[in-house]
Amino acid sequence: MTNTSTGIEWTDTTWNPVTGCTPVSAGCDHCYADAIATRFAGTPAFPNGFTLTLRPERLRDPLRWRRPRRVFVNSMSDLFHERVPDHFIAEVFAAMALARQHTYQLLTKRHGRMRSLLSRPDFLNQVAEAASEMIGSGVRTKGMGDGWTATPSPHGNIWTPPWPLPHVWLGVSVEDQKRADLRVPALLDTPAAVRWLSCEPLLGPVDLNRTDKDAYVDGGIDWVVVGGESGPAARPMHPAWAINLRNQCVGARIPFFFKQWGTWAPVAPDRGIPGRGTGRAVLAPDGTRHQITPDQPAPPGAVYMARYGKTRAGRTLLGETWNQYPPIGGDRS
């Protein structure tokens, strides 16, 4: 069983039945997973570096974990990557179906494949076959719970789980408005018990009402996580972008989680005055950086940012820590 400890604030454990990925959008530019896998390439954890690799030996790990926990699925990859076979994704869902004591947090940038695959009746059949094979092999489970159905077959019952799985949170990455307009409608059109957004790294303003106002306001999105980028090449996040998303969530009664400022944060007394040699930027609301001179004042809405580092930058927004989570079923009533 692999090391599953994590410093990711919104989860308890990571589970990586796949490692490695390829970039698809601006949010991938400074991928932490790529940096880690490249650094430890050739080790048992990353034998192929960041080249996509299936890890079937990890499929049953959640079944061995007794204590219920939040599990971030594929923190080092994307489960819906085009090189991950359908049958392997079905095995991942089968393991999640059987280890139902946990809450699973899936995140993808491959919104198209997610929607098409999880909407197909034959995919649920693959999940049922994989789950039945695991049951037949004698895996220990917490019991299948309500909603499972048994269909006789020549080789024994085929057990089909309730669909969508009630303890699986399905999410998409949304780093800017362009990706919100692409990925949020696909997520809203995908069967899921809980739908969520990871707006990290947040690289621009995002108006979620633009994507599908009726579905958003009526409860199509159940959770929003926001965070700035960290690392040597991190891009700063304008405070207005995070505050606006928080306001949208508060107005729609959507649980909001502010994960981090990242490497950059607004200059503030509680963080101290940045020293000489500290990276600084005057950041406009459109994400452009400016040099301020007597002849060139700051544009409207610009904010003075500094490279404090993730720890010093902290994770409070307007003086508050936002650690909200959705209930399992996403019910906000």
Give the tens place of pLDDT for each residue, 149-192: 999 999 889 999 999 999 999 999 999 999 999 999 999 999 99
pLDDT tens profile 22-74: 999 999 999 999 999 999 999 999 999 999 999 999 999 999 999 999 999 99
pLDDT tens profile 208-237: 887 655 555 456 899 999 999 999 999 999
Taking CA atoms, 283 is separated from 33, 210, 229, 261, in Å, by 27, 24, 15, 14
Q: Checking DSSP bridges between strand 168-173 and strand 158-160, what pairing results, if any?
A: unpaired
Chain centre to alpha carbon of residue 272: 31
DSSP 141: -
Q: Do the Cβ atoms of 35 and 231 come closer than 8 Å?
A: yes
Q: What pLDDT, on a 0 to 100 scale, did the predictor assign at position 218?
A: 53
Q: Checking DSSP bridges between strand 223-227 and strand 256-260, what pairing results, if any?
A: parallel
Chain centre to alpha carbon of residue 14: 11
Residues 68 and 169: their CA atoms lie apart, in Å, by 15
CA atoms within 13 A on the CB side of 269: 1
Residue with tokens 């928080």: 246
Residue 239 has pLDDT above 70, yes or no: yes
Instruction: Summarize the confidence of residues 111-116 as an average pLDDT.
Output: 98
Residues 201 and 10: their CA atoms lie apart, in Å, by 15
